[in-house]
Structure 1
Amino acid sequence: MAGHSKWKNIQHRKGRQDALRGKLFAKLAREIYVAARQGDKDPANNQKLRLAISKARAQNMPNENIERAIKKAAGGGEGKDYESITYEGYGPGGIAVMVETLTDNRNRTAADLRHIFSKRGGNLGEAGCVSWMFERKGQLVIDRETADKDEEELMLLALENGADDFETTEKAYEVTTSPEAFEDVKQALEAEGIAFSSAEVTLVPANKVHIQGEMLKDVFSLIDALEDHDDVQNVYANFDVDEEELAKYTD
């Protein structure tokens, strides 16, 4: 599992997302709003909206928040028009970073992200400079502490229902799918009573940079600052790190 994926899981277990739940819900609502505004308001006819709702529910976002975002999108022209823009750059240690945003002011967002990168040992690059290192995949992460099935049973269940890969780490099971198979695999696992610590279509790095020691603090400082920006929806990076090293940073 790539380092950033491990970091997101530790954030979840240590309650960082609870501390930032208001901001997290606001970003999820914006993603739902944009998906509904740009397509059918019925999730059954809008895959982008289904995925946004699935992502929100995986973070325990209340149904009323989800419904409010869809209703707002259905209300017509009074809402903001957001533009989806992906920025690419390099972080400390030469790691590749992809930043997905929804913004109503691209000049402001670009200037802010450039400042965040440069202040924390990185630099914002040109379009295409690192995207070739990433592939869009579905990822379903199951916390081993809460899983009520053993590893072999989970693996067979995932693979039989169309998953591409199944990986076991010290703390979690991670199921990888194609974007097209994501919903089918997720529904099949949910039907067996399996819960996820995260479930989303994401960008998975093909090439990874191993980092350790003080470099971890620099990398996480950049990622935290990017994720804290109101216009940023998702941040992906291609670093890898040993779980023991990661535990030292988060303890």
Structure 2
Amino acid sequence: MSGHSKWHNIQAKKGKADAKRGKIFTKIGKEIMVAAKNGGANPETNAKLRDVIAKAKAANMPNDTITRAIKKASGELGAVNYETIMYEGYGIDGTAVIVEALTDNKNRTAGNVRYAFTKGGGNMGTMGCVGFMFQTKGEIIIEKTDETDEDELMMMALDAGAEDFAAEDEVFVITTTPEDFGSVREALEANGIEFLEAEVKMIPDTYTEIGEESAKKFQKMLDMLEDDDDVQNVYHNAESEYLD
């Protein structure tokens, strides 16, 4: 089965994640706070919160940090009100980019995102200008090991309601609808499967290949966006061996 994800070098991605772990925890903590505030602090009755907690655990976020974020959302530690905003635009060479932000200051965030687009040789567009080029999907990434039985894992995922299963060089990629993501993830968890990533994200229908020089500019834009505390996720359709 075909996969949507582009996981070329798992070790490089792990190293990058380790280097940015503090920032990653901050971003996921904000997601936990928003999920808990909107749907309640009990993950048993709040499916969105369960999904974000699974994402946190896949990123090796400590349990006490997760608990603290939930308490903050319930007002026990002084809550901050965050608003979800999506920005769409074009990177260099006409690549499509979607930026998801959680912010308490829309003007600050919009200015920072626009600046990053400009510095990377792109420009911000209007809502909907590239969104039609992406699909919202649940994606579960599992590292290949000698103990993993590919056929067994595939049947387990498909029986639980997964749409697709792909074996890449170093990982298995399981794709679901957003609605079935939670039940598929929980079924795999119940069978002791551990995840490198588990989240609902926007996946491009097609990818645009860019060269080395363009990739350098595009990477600069990605780094600026990922370093911004307001930016939660960046989705794009650029593909290059020169991109991290």
1:118 is matched with: 118
TM-score by length of 1: 0.89
2:180 is matched with: 181
User: 1:214 and 2:213 equivalent?
Assistant: yes
2:157 is matched with: 158
Q: Deviations over 1:27-60 (max 9, x none)?
A: 1111111111222111122222122111111101
Aligned partners of 1:2 and 1:187: how far apart in 2? 21
1:81 is matched with: 81
Change in Cα spacing, 1:214 to 1:153, as seen in structure 2 (3 Å) is farther
What residue identity is the alignment partner of 1:225? Answer: M
Please give the secondary structure, in 1, of the residue aligned with 2:44: helix
1:234 is matched with: 233
Aligned partners of 1:61 and 1:112: how far apart in 2? 27
Q: Deviations over 1:107-144 (max 9, x none)?
A: 11001110110011111111111111111111011112
What residue identity is the alignment partner of 1:200? Answer: E
Aligned partners of 1:7 and 1:125: how far apart in 2? 30
Q: Deviations over 1:70-97 (max 9, x none)?
A: 1111126942211100111111121111
Change in Cα spacing, 1:168 to 1:215, as seen in structure 2 (3 Å) is farther
2:194 is matched with: 195
Aligned partners of 1:114 and 1:2: how far apart in 2? 28
Identity of paired residues, percent?
A: 48
Structure 1 window deviating more from structure 2 (55-64 vs 44-53): it is 44-53
User: 1:38 and 2:18 equivalent?
Assistant: no
Aligned partners of 1:197 and 1:218: how far apart in 2? 28
Q: Deviations over 1:133-191 (max 9, x none)?
A: 111111011112x3622322222221121110011211211000011111221122223
Aligned partners of 2:41 and 2:215: how far apart in 1? 42
Aligned partners of 1:29 and 1:45: how far apart in 2? 19
Change in Cα spacing, 1:25 to 1:193, as seen in structure 2 (3 Å) is same
Aligned partners of 2:194 and 2:78: how far apart in 1? 37
Q: Is the 1:2–1:238 contact (alpha carbons within 8 Å) kept by the matching residues of 2?
A: no
Aligned partners of 2:202 and 2:153: how far apart in 1? 23
Aligned partners of 2:9 and 2:27: how far apart in 1? 16
Q: Is the 2:103–2:109 contact (alpha carbons within 8 Å) kept by the matching residues of 1?
A: yes
Q: Is the 1:88–1:99 contact (alpha carbons within 8 Å) kept by the matching residues of 2?
A: yes
1:72 is matched with: 72
Q: Any gaps of 5 or more consecutive residues in structure 2?
A: none
Paired residues, number: 242
Q: Is the 2:181–2:200 contact (alpha carbons within 8 Å) kept by the matching residues of 1?
A: yes
1:6 is matched with: 7
Aligned partners of 1:6 and 1:147: how far apart in 2? 19
Aligned partners of 2:169 and 2:213: how far apart in 1? 23
Aligned partners of 2:127 and 2:235: how far apart in 1? 15
Please give the secondary structure, in 1, of the residue aligned with 2:147: coil
Q: Any gaps of 5 or more consecutive residues in structure 1?
A: none
Structure 1 window deviating more from structure 2 (189-198 vs 175-184): it is 189-198
By how many angstroms is 1:8 displaced? 8.9
Structure 1 window deviating more from structure 2 (168-177 vs 212-221): it is 212-221
Aligned partners of 2:236 and 2:135: how far apart in 1? 12
Please give the secondary structure, in 2, of the residue aligned with 1:45: coil
TM-score by length of 2: 0.91
